[in-house]
Structure formats: structure tokens, C-alpha cells
Amino acid sequence: MDKIWNSYPDLKGELTLVLDLMKKNVKCKDKKIENSIIELIESGGKLLRPAFVLIGSKFGNYDREKSVPTAAVIEMLHMASLVHDDVIDDSKLRRGQETIQSKYGKDYAVYIGDYLFCVCFKILATSSSLQAIKMDSRAMSKICMGEVNQLNSRYSTKLSIKEYLSRISGKTAELFSLSLSLGAAECDAKKNITKTLYNIGHNLGMAFQIIDDILDYEGNDESIKKSAGNDLKQGIYTSPFIYASMNNPKEFKKFIGNDELEDEDIKEIIKKVKENNGVVDARQLAGKYMEKCFKGIDSLPNSEYKEILNDISKWLLLREY
């Protein structure tokens, strides 16, 4: 578990219960599937999304019997999407460790992701309200379409910040929104509080993804745990590249739509993106969502968990990059 939670012992204790519930529910006859999922659970993820469920629940009538299973479902939905993403992207590493698809093959990885979805439905059926099932279903539909939009836009020569924002809204921000708002809704928080938490999650998720994309240009392999420029090789154009190409189209014409980029091309692109203010403009875009996020947090009723949400948001968004 990430050391960030050491500062919040009550929350850390509840996250431990979430992990225990996940391990309990993934048991099955096929020990390769079971052990693979347990390895994934123990691989050192930040547990942001289940933590947000628990934080959101504190703005209602907190009920551990509802909140812990809901948090477990959210984390397993996230895990399942990561397993399938790694298959699509042919990723070798995840969180600094070998991916399931690399270790066991793509076929097995698809089934493991599917099994995780099944476990989610099982927990939802026994522990959650109809409202939670509806909210989860809507969110998963948006997340899926965000991934499809990304797939359809690969190597596209029509670059658009609007399209990029639509893509990351589904791909990343939606699960942040769901986590905070579902935790609140399941504990009967007021509707205006639930809506505010949904918007906070959206703005937090948008800023988080934009900053993550900036790290491809400003970070190093060790700090971001993936190869810089990996998105470019897959024809996925993020905000720094899009802004730079809009600022100086001639400099980027030969790279857009090119599915045979070499390492030297990547180095040249990264250099040109910085020179043409792509990173600067992307930072400004992230800043707009950050401002909305913290404004939303400020509007919440004063409580210990308002402060925790504020602290964690700062930790996520005010990273060095």
C-alpha cells in the first residue's frame, strides 16, 4: 500500500479491509487466475479510487458495510480495465512489474479481466443498491467509449484539444467522478453534495491525466514507470503534442499519422514539443481543471475528510513535472 495512506490511519485501515475483501472474492478453482489477481492486488497500486469511495462516503451517513464493498468493486473495475488495456497496448510492464498478458499470454489476460468483472457483479449483487448498479453501469459505458475513442483516433491527422478532452473524460476522469459520488450516494449524502463530489472527481481526473501526459515529455523512465514517448509510437496524441503542432504545424507534419516512428524520431518530437510551447500550454490546461477541483473542494462542508480530500488532491496534482 502506498505510504501516502500512513498519514491517515483510519483510512488506511479501511483500505486494508477493501484489499482483504477483494482477495476473498477472487478465489476460484483455477489457481493461475486466482494467484495472478492476488499478485495484481498486491502490486503496489495507489488505491486512489477506493480511497475516494471511502472519502465520499464520509459526506453521508457512513456505513462500512456499504462503503468497503463499493470501494472494492471500484478498484476491481479499474484493475480489469488495466488488464485489458495492457493486452491492447501489448504492454510488458505495469507498476514496474511484468504484466499479466506478458507473463501468461493475451488469451489468459482477457479471461482474467473478464473474471474480475464477474467478481464485481457478484459483490454488487450482494452488497449494493440498485442505484449503485445503475451508476456503475453508466460509468463503465463511458469508460469503454473513452477507450474506443482513443482506439479510433490513433494516427489521426485531425488533431483537436476538444477531442482529446472528450477522450480522457471517459478514459480517466469518469472513474474518479464515480468513486467520489458513488461513495456519497450509497451513504445517503445530500444530492447537491453528491453532485459536487462528482464534479470534483471529474476535474481532478482531467487534471491528473493531463499532468500524466506531460510527464511523457518532462519525466524520465524511472519516474513515470513507462517509456517516454510510448503514446507517440502508438499514434496516441496527447495535449502537449497537440498544442505544439497547432503552434507550429510545419514542424510536426512529418510525424502526424506516422506509424513507423523510431527512437530518434521520438527524441526529436519531445525536443520540438518543448520548443513550441506544447508543455507550457498543456500545463495551463491542467491548471484550469486544478482550479475548478480545489474550488469544488472549498465548497464542501467543513470536515476532517474535506481536508484529507484537499491534501490528496494536492499530492496528485502538484507533483514535480
CB atoms within 10 A of CB 36: 20
> Phi/psi of residue 307, each to 5°?
-65, -40
Answer whether residue 182 shows pLDDT above 70. yes
Residues 195 and 268 in one domain: yes
Residues 267-305 pLDDT 10s: 899 999 999 999 999 999 999 999 999 999 999 999 999
Q: What is the CATH number of the domain that holds 198?
A: 1.10.600.10
- Give this prediction's pTM: 0.90
Percentage of the chain exceeding pLDDT 90 = 53
- Considering 20-29, 131-140, 312-321, the range whose residues carry the highest mean pLDDT is 20-29
Answer yes or no: are the C-beta atoms of 314 and 208 closer than 8 Å.
Answer: no
Residue 220 pLDDT = 58
Percentage of the chain exceeding pLDDT 70 = 95
Answer yes or no: are the C-beta atoms of 59 and 307 closer than 8 Å.
Answer: no
For residue 259, what is the enclosing H or E element? none
69-83, 88-102, 183-197: least confidently modelled range: 88-102
SS3 32: helix
Residue 104 pLDDT = 82
Residues 45 and 169 in one domain: no
* Separation of alpha carbons 120 and 72, rounded Å: 8
* Separation of alpha carbons 177 and 238, rounded Å: 21
* Separation of alpha carbons 131 and 201, rounded Å: 19
Range(s) of the domain holding residue 278: 157-174+188-321
Residue 219 pLDDT = 62
Residue 223 pLDDT = 43
Residues 162 and 62 in one domain: no
Residue 18 pLDDT = 96
